[in-house]
């Protein structure tokens, strides 16, 4: 079972890397895809994948200033998903 989980995590990390690299061609699509992966990772408790998504969004933000607001909004949305609601 551990090997299956590790394989899924590795594949997810590779997917994040591939989506991040695709940002050179389709940055807006990559932001949307990364947000979707981040949402799924947050729901699954896959912290490593979630951190990779946040790092990838930060990279897009820094490399493409015109898309910085969209990338920042995606990062903030993911941060809110991981924040428990107040009591």
Give the pLDDT band (50/70/90) at residue 70.
Answer: very high
Q: Return phi, psi of residue 86, to 5°.
A: -70, 155
From the number of C-beta atoms within 10 Å of its C-beta (0-12, 13-18, 19+), residue 3 rates as exposed
Residue 71, pLDDT score: 95
List, for residues 38-49, the tens digit of each pLDDT value. 999 998 888 899
The residue extents of the domains of the chain are 46-81
Residue 10, pLDDT score: 86
């Amino acid at each position: 079972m551990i090997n299956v989980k590790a394989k899924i995590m590795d594949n997810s990390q590779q997917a994040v890397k591939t989506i991040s690299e695709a940002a050179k061609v389709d940055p807006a699509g990559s932001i949307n895809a990364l947000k979707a992966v981040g949402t799924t990772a947050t729901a699954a408790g896959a912290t490593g994948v979630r951190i990779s998504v946040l790092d990838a969004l930060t990279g897009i933000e820094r490399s493409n200033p015109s898309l910085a607001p969209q990338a920042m909004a995606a990062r903030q949305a993911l941060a809110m998903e991981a924040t428990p609601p107040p009591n």
